[in-house]
Amino acid sequence: MEKKPRNIFVQGPVTAAFVAESIQKHSTQKTIGAHSIFLGQVRADVTDGNVVAAIEYTAFEEMALEKMHEIREAVFEKYPLTCMHVYHSLGTVGAGEISLFVFTSSAHRKAAIAACEEVVERLKAELPVWGKEILQDAGYRWKVNQ
């Protein structure tokens, strides 16, 4: 029986309490020597005098979860990880709030850091998730990943 892809989506922002709780849960793991954490935060970018107040995230969820499963499997094959956790917001996330939390763990730092970076880059390039930037003037524009 094939493993069902894990749900990575959370409604609204990823809270600091959630991040702290995730880290705390790993304090009993004696084989982990390193964690690497990436937190993606919504910026209040300014373009043509318009300030981003929030980003509204939408996704083709079923396809995104399948793609995340592929990324997860490939990264676990490439790096000696103990675990990996990914959480991505859906819905509205205000400027200054966290919308992406990637957490990799390994016996050694280099694997944890390299895996975390690869996961973030692949998510940005491959996951069918879209961000509509909500502007302070009540307009919007579609976010383009850098």
Q: What angle do CA 65, 119, 100 make, to 5 degrees?
A: 70
Q: In whole angstroms, what is the distance from residue 61 CA to residue 67 CA? A: 10
* pLDDT tier, 144 (very low <50, low <70, confident <90, very high otherwise): confident
Residue 146 pLDDT exceeds 90: no
Alpha-carbon 15 to chain mean position: 13
Q: In whole angstroms, what is the distance from residue 119 CA to residue 132 CA? A: 22
**Tens-place pLDDT, residues 20-32:** 999 999 989 999 9
Hey, what CATH class is 9-142 in? alpha beta
**Tens-place pLDDT, residues 30-81:** 999 999 999 999 999 997 889 999 999 999 999 999 999 999 999 999 999 9
CB 130 within 8 A of CB 57: yes
